[in-house]
Amino acid sequence: MAATAESEGWTHDEFLEDVMRRLACSQIAFECGLGLTAAQHLEAALTRGNDVEAWLAIRGVFVCAANVAKMLWPRPKDKSLKHALEARGTQLQSDFEVEDSSPLHKRDVRDGFEHIEERLDRSVKKTGHFADLVIGPTDTFNAQTVMLRHYDPQTGQIRVLDATANLRDIIRELEVLRPKAQAKSLIK
Protein backbone atom coordinates (compact mmCIF):
# COMPACT_ATOMS: atom_id res chain seq x y z
CA MET A 1 0.00 0.00 0.00
CA ALA A 2 1.34 3.42 -0.95
CA ALA A 3 1.90 5.95 1.81
CA THR A 4 -0.51 8.83 2.04
CA ALA A 5 -0.42 12.02 4.06
CA GLU A 6 -3.04 10.58 6.41
CA SER A 7 -1.23 7.25 6.89
CA GLU A 8 2.02 9.06 7.76
CA GLY A 9 0.36 11.62 10.05
CA TRP A 10 1.50 14.53 7.88
CA THR A 11 -0.30 17.49 6.47
CA HIS A 12 -0.86 17.43 2.75
CA ASP A 13 1.93 20.00 2.22
CA GLU A 14 4.38 18.01 4.38
CA PHE A 15 3.56 14.87 2.42
CA LEU A 16 4.08 16.62 -0.92
CA GLU A 17 7.40 18.05 0.25
CA ASP A 18 8.54 14.57 1.26
CA VAL A 19 7.60 13.29 -2.19
CA MET A 20 9.47 16.17 -3.83
CA ARG A 21 12.56 15.59 -1.67
CA ARG A 22 12.54 11.88 -2.51
CA LEU A 23 12.11 12.68 -6.21
CA ALA A 24 15.12 14.99 -5.89
CA CYS A 25 17.04 12.07 -4.37
CA SER A 26 16.06 9.96 -7.38
CA GLN A 27 17.36 12.64 -9.72
CA ILE A 28 20.59 13.00 -7.74
CA ALA A 29 21.17 9.23 -7.82
CA PHE A 30 20.51 9.19 -11.58
CA GLU A 31 22.89 12.10 -12.27
CA CYS A 32 25.58 10.52 -10.07
CA GLY A 33 25.21 7.30 -12.06
CA LEU A 34 25.53 9.15 -15.37
CA GLY A 35 28.55 11.06 -14.11
CA LEU A 36 30.24 7.86 -12.97
CA THR A 37 29.55 6.28 -16.36
CA ALA A 38 31.14 9.33 -18.00
CA ALA A 39 34.16 8.83 -15.71
CA GLN A 40 34.47 5.23 -16.95
CA HIS A 41 34.28 6.49 -20.53
CA LEU A 42 37.04 8.98 -19.72
CA GLU A 43 39.35 6.22 -18.52
CA ALA A 44 38.65 4.18 -21.65
CA ALA A 45 39.22 7.19 -23.92
CA LEU A 46 42.51 8.00 -22.19
CA THR A 47 43.64 4.38 -22.58
CA ARG A 48 42.86 4.55 -26.32
CA GLY A 49 44.45 8.00 -26.63
CA ASN A 50 41.22 9.48 -27.99
CA ASP A 51 41.25 13.11 -26.87
CA VAL A 52 37.87 13.97 -28.40
CA GLU A 53 36.15 11.18 -26.47
CA ALA A 54 38.10 12.16 -23.35
CA TRP A 55 36.85 15.75 -23.52
CA LEU A 56 33.31 14.53 -24.18
CA ALA A 57 33.53 12.35 -21.08
CA ILE A 58 35.01 15.19 -19.00
CA ARG A 59 32.12 17.40 -20.06
CA GLY A 60 29.74 14.59 -19.13
CA VAL A 61 31.14 14.38 -15.61
CA PHE A 62 30.85 18.15 -15.21
CA VAL A 63 27.30 18.37 -16.54
CA CYS A 64 26.16 15.64 -14.16
CA ALA A 65 28.03 17.21 -11.24
CA ALA A 66 26.39 20.54 -12.07
CA ASN A 67 22.94 18.95 -12.08
CA VAL A 68 23.59 17.42 -8.66
CA ALA A 69 24.88 20.74 -7.36
CA LYS A 70 21.75 22.50 -8.60
CA MET A 71 19.66 20.19 -6.43
CA LEU A 72 21.86 20.71 -3.37
CA TRP A 73 22.50 24.45 -3.83
CA PRO A 74 19.59 25.68 -5.95
CA ARG A 75 19.58 29.12 -7.52
CA PRO A 76 16.10 29.25 -9.02
CA LYS A 77 15.22 31.82 -11.64
CA ASP A 78 11.59 31.59 -10.55
CA LYS A 79 11.64 33.56 -7.31
CA SER A 80 8.31 32.02 -6.23
CA LEU A 81 10.16 28.70 -5.83
CA LYS A 82 13.19 30.17 -4.05
CA HIS A 83 12.16 29.39 -0.47
CA ALA A 84 10.97 25.83 -1.15
CA LEU A 85 13.95 24.87 -3.30
CA GLU A 86 16.51 26.39 -0.94
CA ALA A 87 14.91 24.66 2.04
CA ARG A 88 14.89 21.36 0.15
CA GLY A 89 18.51 21.84 -0.88
CA THR A 90 19.53 22.54 2.70
CA GLN A 91 17.67 19.43 3.86
CA LEU A 92 19.35 17.30 1.18
CA GLN A 93 22.78 18.66 2.15
CA SER A 94 22.04 17.64 5.73
CA ASP A 95 20.64 14.23 4.76
CA PHE A 96 23.72 13.44 2.67
CA GLU A 97 26.22 15.18 4.97
CA VAL A 98 27.45 17.39 2.11
CA GLU A 99 29.27 20.55 3.12
CA ASP A 100 29.75 23.78 1.20
CA SER A 101 33.39 22.72 0.85
CA SER A 102 32.28 19.84 -1.42
CA PRO A 103 33.97 19.82 -4.84
CA LEU A 104 30.45 19.73 -6.30
CA HIS A 105 29.75 23.20 -4.90
CA LYS A 106 32.64 24.86 -6.72
CA ARG A 107 31.26 26.36 -9.95
CA ASP A 108 34.28 28.05 -11.57
CA VAL A 109 35.37 25.25 -13.92
CA ARG A 110 31.80 24.23 -14.77
CA ASP A 111 30.94 27.82 -15.58
CA GLY A 112 34.17 28.14 -17.55
CA PHE A 113 33.12 25.31 -19.86
CA GLU A 114 29.66 26.75 -20.25
CA HIS A 115 30.68 30.39 -20.72
CA ILE A 116 34.16 30.16 -22.24
CA GLU A 117 33.25 32.71 -24.92
CA GLU A 118 32.84 35.35 -22.21
CA ARG A 119 36.32 34.71 -20.84
CA LEU A 120 38.42 34.28 -23.96
CA ASP A 121 39.11 37.95 -24.64
CA ARG A 122 40.32 38.64 -21.11
CA SER A 123 42.66 35.66 -21.10
CA VAL A 124 44.05 35.35 -24.60
CA LYS A 125 44.63 39.05 -25.23
CA LYS A 126 47.03 39.18 -22.27
CA THR A 127 49.79 37.26 -24.05
CA GLY A 128 48.55 36.07 -27.42
CA HIS A 129 49.99 32.61 -26.66
CA PHE A 130 47.50 29.90 -25.88
CA ALA A 131 46.96 26.16 -25.95
CA ASP A 132 43.62 24.41 -25.87
CA LEU A 133 42.26 20.95 -25.17
CA VAL A 134 45.56 19.75 -23.71
CA ILE A 135 45.61 16.38 -22.01
CA GLY A 136 48.79 15.66 -20.08
CA PRO A 137 51.37 17.68 -18.18
CA THR A 138 51.94 21.31 -19.07
CA ASP A 139 55.70 21.41 -18.51
CA THR A 140 56.34 21.66 -22.27
CA PHE A 141 54.55 25.02 -22.44
CA ASN A 142 56.18 28.31 -21.49
CA ALA A 143 54.86 30.38 -18.61
CA GLN A 144 53.28 32.91 -20.99
CA THR A 145 51.00 30.29 -22.56
CA VAL A 146 47.37 30.67 -21.55
CA MET A 147 45.76 27.27 -21.10
CA LEU A 148 42.18 27.48 -22.35
CA ARG A 149 41.26 23.92 -21.35
CA HIS A 150 43.68 21.45 -19.80
CA TYR A 151 43.38 18.10 -18.04
CA ASP A 152 46.23 16.27 -16.34
CA PRO A 153 45.23 12.61 -15.86
CA GLN A 154 48.16 12.02 -13.50
CA THR A 155 46.92 14.54 -10.93
CA GLY A 156 43.24 14.79 -11.88
CA GLN A 157 43.66 18.56 -12.15
CA ILE A 158 41.47 20.28 -14.72
CA ARG A 159 41.73 23.87 -15.81
CA VAL A 160 39.46 26.10 -17.81
CA LEU A 161 41.30 29.39 -18.24
CA ASP A 162 42.08 30.58 -14.71
CA ALA A 163 39.70 28.21 -12.90
CA THR A 164 40.89 24.84 -11.60
CA ALA A 165 39.30 21.83 -9.95
CA ASN A 166 40.23 18.23 -9.30
CA LEU A 167 38.16 15.87 -11.42
CA ARG A 168 39.05 12.89 -9.22
CA ASP A 169 37.59 14.69 -6.18
CA ILE A 170 34.38 15.39 -8.09
CA ILE A 171 34.11 11.75 -9.17
CA ARG A 172 34.75 10.55 -5.60
CA GLU A 173 31.99 12.83 -4.36
CA LEU A 174 29.58 11.35 -6.93
CA GLU A 175 30.60 7.85 -5.78
CA VAL A 176 29.89 8.71 -2.14
CA LEU A 177 26.65 10.54 -2.84
CA ARG A 178 25.02 8.00 -5.17
CA PRO A 179 24.21 5.26 -2.61
CA LYS A 180 23.02 7.86 -0.11
CA ALA A 181 20.64 9.30 -2.70
CA GLN A 182 19.53 5.84 -3.82
CA ALA A 183 18.63 4.94 -0.24
CA LYS A 184 16.25 7.91 0.04
CA SER A 185 15.01 7.76 -3.54
CA LEU A 186 11.33 7.59 -4.42
CA ILE A 187 12.13 5.61 -7.57
CA LYS A 188 14.16 2.49 -6.88
C-alpha–C-alpha distance, residues 92 and 167, integer Å: 23
Reply yes or no on whether the pLDDT at 7 is more than 80.
no
* Mean pLDDT along residues 156-169: 92
Question: Which pLDDT tens digit goes with each residue over 34-57?
Answer: 999 999 999 999 999 999 999 999
* Mean pLDDT along residues 73-88: 92
* Mean pLDDT along residues 98-117: 89
Number of residues that this document lists for the chain: 188
* Mean pLDDT along residues 56-76: 95
pLDDT bracket for residue 179 (50, 70, 90): very high
* Mean pLDDT along residues 99-125: 85
C-alpha–C-alpha distance, residues 65 and 166, integer Å: 12
Contact assessment for residue 120 and residue 175, using Cβ atoms and an 8 Å cutoff? no
Contact assessment for residue 64 and residue 31, using Cβ atoms and an 8 Å cutoff? yes
pLDDT bracket for residue 1 (50, 70, 90): very low
Reply yes or no on whether the pLDDT at 4 is more than 70.
no
* Mean pLDDT along residues 53-73: 96
Q: Which residue has the higher pLDDT, 148 or 44?
A: 44
C-alpha–C-alpha distance, residues 149 and 159, integer Å: 6
Provide the total of helices (H) and of strands (E) in the chain, helices listed first. 7, 6
Angle at 175 between CA 172 and CA 181, to 5 degrees: 135
- Domain borders along the chain are 12-183
What share of the chain has pLDDT > 90, as a percent?
63
What pLDDT is stored for residue 5 in this prediction?
54
User: For residue 42, how far is the Cα from the chain centroid?
Assistant: 15
